[in-house]
Protein backbone atom coordinates (compact mmCIF):
# COMPACT_ATOMS: atom_id res chain seq x y z
CA UNK A 1 0.00 0.00 0.00
CA UNK A 2 1.43 3.31 -1.05
CA UNK A 3 0.99 5.88 1.73
CA UNK A 4 1.56 8.85 -0.53
CA UNK A 5 -1.21 8.03 -2.98
CA UNK A 6 -4.83 8.88 -2.01
CA UNK A 7 -7.17 6.00 -1.22
CA UNK A 8 -9.61 4.92 -3.92
CA UNK A 9 -12.79 2.96 -3.26
CA UNK A 10 -11.97 0.18 -5.69
CA UNK A 11 -8.73 -0.75 -3.93
CA UNK A 12 -8.80 -3.62 -1.44
CA UNK A 13 -8.60 -2.44 2.15
CA UNK A 14 -7.40 -4.33 5.21
CA UNK A 15 -9.98 -4.82 7.89
CA UNK A 16 -8.63 -5.05 11.44
CA UNK A 17 -12.03 -5.39 13.12
CA UNK A 18 -11.46 -9.14 13.41
CA UNK A 19 -8.80 -8.33 16.00
CA UNK A 20 -11.43 -6.83 18.30
CA UNK A 21 -13.53 -9.97 17.90
CA UNK A 22 -10.58 -12.13 18.87
CA UNK A 23 -9.75 -9.94 21.85
CA UNK A 24 -13.30 -9.88 23.21
CA UNK A 25 -14.22 -13.49 22.40
CA UNK A 26 -12.93 -14.95 25.70
CA UNK A 27 -14.99 -12.47 27.74
CA UNK A 28 -18.03 -13.14 25.59
CA UNK A 29 -17.71 -16.90 25.86
CA UNK A 30 -17.34 -16.70 29.65
CA UNK A 31 -20.09 -14.18 30.36
CA UNK A 32 -22.75 -15.09 27.82
CA UNK A 33 -24.03 -18.22 29.60
CA UNK A 34 -24.41 -16.27 32.84
CA UNK A 35 -25.72 -12.86 31.83
CA UNK A 36 -26.70 -13.10 28.19
CA UNK A 37 -29.63 -15.45 28.44
CA UNK A 38 -31.30 -15.11 31.82
CA UNK A 39 -30.21 -11.68 33.06
CA UNK A 40 -32.60 -9.77 30.81
CA UNK A 41 -35.55 -11.83 32.00
CA UNK A 42 -34.45 -11.53 35.63
CA UNK A 43 -34.16 -7.75 35.43
CA UNK A 44 -37.53 -7.40 33.69
CA UNK A 45 -39.32 -9.61 36.20
CA UNK A 46 -37.61 -7.88 39.11
CA UNK A 47 -38.91 -4.54 37.88
CA UNK A 48 -42.37 -5.68 36.75
CA UNK A 49 -43.40 -8.49 39.12
CA UNK A 50 -45.32 -6.32 41.61
CA UNK A 51 -47.34 -4.71 38.82
CA UNK A 52 -47.97 -8.07 37.17
CA UNK A 53 -49.06 -9.56 40.50
CA UNK A 54 -51.52 -6.73 41.11
CA UNK A 55 -52.94 -6.97 37.58
CA UNK A 56 -53.07 -10.76 37.22
CA UNK A 57 -53.30 -12.01 40.81
CA UNK A 58 -50.36 -14.38 40.48
CA UNK A 59 -49.82 -14.95 44.21
CA UNK A 60 -53.54 -15.52 44.83
CA UNK A 61 -53.80 -18.12 42.08
CA UNK A 62 -50.72 -19.92 43.40
CA UNK A 63 -52.21 -19.89 46.92
CA UNK A 64 -55.48 -21.34 45.55
CA UNK A 65 -53.66 -24.02 43.56
CA UNK A 66 -51.49 -25.10 46.53
CA UNK A 67 -53.49 -24.42 49.72
CA UNK A 68 -51.21 -26.39 52.09
CA UNK A 69 -48.12 -24.38 51.16
CA UNK A 70 -47.52 -21.30 53.24
CA UNK A 71 -46.20 -18.43 51.13
CA UNK A 72 -42.80 -17.13 52.17
CA UNK A 73 -41.96 -13.53 51.40
CA UNK A 74 -38.34 -12.47 51.76
CA UNK A 75 -39.06 -8.78 51.31
pLDDT of 18-39, one tens digit each? 777 788 888 777 877 777 767 7
Sign (positive or negative) of CA dihedral 53, 59, 61, 62: positive
| Residue-averaged pLDDT of the chain | 77
The pLDDT value recorded for residue 14 is: 61
Indicate whether 7 pLDDT > 90.
Answer: no
How far out from the chain centre does Cα 60 lie?
30
Indicate whether 51 pLDDT > 90.
Answer: yes
Based on the number of CB atoms within 10 Å of its own CB, is 37 exposed (0-12), middle (13-18) or buried (19 or more)? exposed
Task: Write the DSSP string, the chain.
Answer: --TTSPP-TTS----THHHHHHHHHHHHHHHIIIIISSHHHHHHHHHHHHHHHHHH-HHHHHHHH-TTSPP----
The pLDDT value recorded for residue 6 is: 58
pLDDT average, residue stretch 36-52: 83
- Domain-by-domain residue ranges, the chain? 36-66
Amino acid sequence: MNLFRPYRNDEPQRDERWLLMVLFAPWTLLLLPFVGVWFDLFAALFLLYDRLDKALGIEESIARAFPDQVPRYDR
